[in-house]
Structure 1
Amino acid sequence: MSSGQTHRGPYDLDDRLVRRLVEGQFPQWAGLPLGRHPSGGTVNAMYRLGEDMVVRLPLVRGGVADVTTEREWLPRLSPLLPTAVPEVLGEGAPAEGYPWPWSVYRWLPGEHPEAGGLTDPESLAVDLAGFVTAMRGITLPNAPKAYRGGPLATLDASTRAALDALRGLPEEGVDCDALTEVWQDSLRAPAWDGPPRWLHADLMPGNLLVTGGRLSAVIDFGCMGVGDPACDLFPAWNLLPAGAREVFREALGVDGATWRRGRGRTLSQALIALPHYRRTNPAMAGNARHVIRVVLDESG
């Protein structure tokens, strides 16, 4: 869904515009404090509204589908999941020159976990496996296709292009030959031949919230849908240390082929992200470097 306008993002949002949107469409919240909430996300901006809400607005046209997908599916998924997920409290419409739909959500407390800084990684691994298992067990009909989840080979051209780009960045110190071997091994893994499974499809640390070291919420379901279950193995390499990685794998009962595809998908995302975000998004670039180190250590 789109507004029909042709704005090319990222949209230049500011506090005054967001306040006008809220006041014009949700006057009951007009007097609440509002301010931009720091985020490493690249598709949507977040504005804290009062103590208990957050406004989420697309920065680019590609974020519009996230808004509409979450509005349709989160109310159906929420009762089926063991972890808190965003709750839509208000559905905003284009106005004041802003061209896209936007939403108001209930604020979910917690902190984003950081690789290397987990206080209870094995328990977090169990929590993550419980969430992924619950997603895979969902049987709601008419599910959309996940943004990620198709054949791994569809990522081959972009992954190899990213490897070529990294060869031209010797300051990153990336062993592109070793990573190419890992990628080729992933491509050789047998494809998923079971029914498509429900996926979050974007389990990055920035989309997880923890409290006391345990998983308290999963956010940003814009990529959700059905596809290859290997897509929800991202935390094994982008967050969990080696011991907790094995706990995560055992709790999910992941077979060898799915594990290889999952590693390949996580690596592909990191390889593509690093040259693109190395100068503009420290969180994304930092996590990409972490994934690359972990994959090389695991395959060495």
Structure 2
Amino acid sequence: MAESDGMDWEHEVSTDATLAGELVAEQFEEWSRLPVIHVDAVSTDNDIYRLGDHLALRLPRRGSAVAAIDKEHTWLPRLAASLPLKIPLPIARGQPSRGYPFPWSVVEWLDGAPVGAVDAKDSSNIAYDLARFILALHGNDAAGGPVAGEHNHWRGAPLNALDVELRRRFTLMADIPDIGEIIAAWERGLAVDVWAGPLVWVHGDLKGSNLLLRNEALHGVLDWGLTGVGDPACDLSAAWSLFRGNARAAFREAVEVDNATWARGRAWALIEGVLALSYYRGRQEDLAQAGRRVLDQVLADERD
């Protein structure tokens, strides 16, 4: 992000399919003849390439994304067996070379189409599938896992860890007519009881582009860079970013959380909307408008 956003985001490096193919050929001879194709994915931190039919490459665009590679290689194989949906298990780790400065990763390729708002908003089946996945993930032994913090952009940390950053974003959104309502909703979220239970594994980024459908059912969950151990509420933000009406009610029933955890989940959805709208407007309007839609759902729910 630019300096004006109030975030210290690093300079991005550029990659392309030619570079990705050269890195594979140099470091993994067994895959050197496989085609490398860029994947047009919604990813803030990584460039994604398909390698043959069964593999994918994740090449970080900035240094802060590198820590996720170690985390995924360490923890995803331990989590996968207990999860009811597929996840892209890491296969190999590449090293900096040919002017590319970061470690990179070879992972399993998962077939499927990303979940869109049209797919999910009225789908109780998708809501139940996602709730089942969340409960399984949160039920894993979290001992020794990386506690929520800077490494995962504070996903799963107490909400007040994000307060300073949210206040910065509110100043960037001062021209938005309902900014006062957005701020008031955030302050109500901060007033909710903090999580007093055991820390659990969280995915941290359960947006539609990270959820794969196959045969009209949830099939896989991508992009584990923001995973960590913390408050389960952060994974509930999907209730407002993906679902509406009966589907949201089905999701809430299935995840079986108390009122305070549900309210913190709504605050996490507000965070998602504020971050997307404040950063992407004027840059990528489709992503900015996705953030705006999440905020609209949060505010409408608060009014009910």
Asked if TM exceeds 0.5, the reply is yes
| Identical counterparts, % of pairs | 39
- Decide whether aligned partners of structure 1 residues 126 and 293 sit closer, same or farther in structure 2, where only a CA change above 3 A counts: same
1:182-214 Cα offsets, whole Å, 9 max, x none, are: 111111111111111111111111111111331
Q: CA RMSD in A?
A: 1.5
How far, CA to CA, are the matches of 2:57 and 2:41 in structure 1?
A: 13
* Counterpart residue number, 2:166: 159
* Counterpart residue number, 2:33: 31
What is the CA distance between 1:61 and its match in structure 2?
Answer: 0.7
* Counterpart residue number, 1:100: 102
Q: Which amino acid aligns with 2:139?
A: G
How far, CA to CA, are the matches of 1:53 and 1:17 in structure 2?
A: 17
* Counterpart residue number, 1:118: 120
Which runs of no fewer than 5 residues in structure 2 stay unpaired? Answer: 1-9
Contact 2:84 2:133 in 1 (8 A): yes
Which residue of 225, 247, 250 maps to 2:250? 247
Deviates more, 1:264-273 or 1:183-192: 264-273
Contact 2:212 2:218 in 1 (8 A): yes
What is the CA distance between 1:116 and its match in structure 2?
Answer: 3.0
Contact 1:166 1:275 in 2 (8 A): yes
Contact 2:172 2:278 in 1 (8 A): yes
* Counterpart residue number, 1:232: 235
Deviates more, 1:269-278 or 1:34-43: 269-278
Q: Which amino acid aligns with 1:41?
A: S
- Decide whether aligned partners of structure 1 residues 253 and 64 sit closer, same or farther in structure 2, where only a CA change above 3 A counts: same
How far, CA to CA, are the matches of 1:281 and 1:58 in structure 2?
A: 20
Contact 2:142 2:200 in 1 (8 A): no
Contact 2:122 2:246 in 1 (8 A): no
Contact 1:115 1:241 in 2 (8 A): no
* Counterpart residue number, 2:203: 200
What is the CA distance between 1:282 and its match in structure 2?
Answer: 4.1
1:72-103 Cα offsets, whole Å, 9 max, x none, are: 11111110111100122221111111111111
**Is the partner of 1:184 in helix, strand or coil?**
helix
Contact 1:40 1:283 in 2 (8 A): no
**Is the partner of 2:173 in helix, strand or coil?**
helix
How far, CA to CA, are the matches of 1:134 and 1:283 in structure 2?
A: 32
How far, CA to CA, are the matches of 2:275 and 2:132 in structure 1?
A: 29
1:25-52 Cα offsets, whole Å, 9 max, x none, are: 1111111111211011110010111122
What is the CA distance between 1:257 and its match in structure 2?
Answer: 0.7
Q: How does 1:1-300 map to 2 (within 5 A)?
A: 8-118=10-120, 121-146=123-148, 147=152, 148-168=155-175, 170=176, 174-300=177-303
1:133-152 Cα offsets, whole Å, 9 max, x none, are: 01111015311113211111
Q: Which amino acid aligns with 2:28?
A: F
**Is the partner of 2:91 in helix, strand or coil?**
strand
Length-normalised TM-score, structure 1: 0.92
Deviates more, 1:99-108 or 1:112-121: 112-121
